[in-house]
Structure 1
Amino acid sequence: MNRFSIFIFFIAILALVSSACSPSKNIGTQGADTYSENIAQNRITYTDSLESVMDGSEVNTSIRPNPETPVVNPNLNTQYDINEPLDEFLEKVSERNAESNTYQGFTVQVYTGSSREKANEAKNMVYNLMPDASPTISFDPPNYKVKVGEFTDRLEAQPTYTTLKGNFPVVLIVPERFNVTKED
């Protein structure tokens, strides 16, 4: 009987604690909780050629404004304008890429390890699976890497990856820089 009264006491304490922790007021979105703001002054407005037709005024048919041309609000002060620094940065990147004669792309890596024999086996296996492919072996001490293809983006590398992934334990699409070859 003593255990039963202790059990009932703990249940009562638990009920009191849980009722004290629950919120006592329901929070709604009515009354003083509403919010409104007029941001019409910051919106981009578009010229509309149909506007003049609708109010009956005469329209110059030789010059029609494009309804998709934005009219920039001159009163809008942009404190964090990054156009000029971004243009300068992109120009520097373009100059660096032109000097280095390389481009950023992707390749499919099918083997990485310290064994040259296994690298050659992986290369031969790629030739058997994809006769048109040209796998290459590169040595980055202490590892040999077998890579297949030069792709400009991951999506272009995906079919090669899908073909090879079932035949090798680890197949990865990895980023790599390739030399630009000039065609005559």
Structure 2
Amino acid sequence: MQRFLFICLSIFLVTLSACSPKVVSSKSSTTSASTKSSHKKIDKIYEEDLSQYLPKYKQLNEANDTLNAPKKNTKKAYLTEEPMHINKKLDAILDTISLKNKSIRYANGFRIQIYVGNDRKAADDAKIYTYQTYPEIYPYLSYQQPIYKVKIGDFLNRMDAERYFLTIKDYYPSAMILPDRVEIKRGILVK
């Protein structure tokens, strides 16, 4: 049994050593000859002419000629030429975006609520006060039974609302700034 194991082990080692790669020093001429032959094989595989894909550069003389050429009057050319259109599809997309943006009338903003109560005359007085004191700000009167609310302004940002709020607070102490949907066109006019 031991003899059988010894024979199997020796056969295994012999086959293992026969399959291992041979190490050759890099200084030998056989290695350089084998690399040369492999390069020749690669060159034979890639015989396709790829020069058409290389970038083309102007010759040095051509480049100097273009630099030294007299400059044309470009102002007149821009004035007489029609506008450049990069892409008609892009123009169509930009037009639809523009139309969509023009159709947007409301945005999130702020209004100042100056009156809340159930007296119609007091609500009308608050509205008239706004017309007389701040003609650039539009007042809004709303009624939900039994309460009247007067809100003023179409402020796109809170800082604009704060400016008016300080002066209104003296006359209407219960005034407060509330977030609301405002008209963009009127919000732009508020200064």
TM-score (norm 2): 0.39
Structure richer in helix, relative to its length: 2
Question: Which protein shows a greater Rg?
Answer: 2
TM-score (norm 1): 0.40
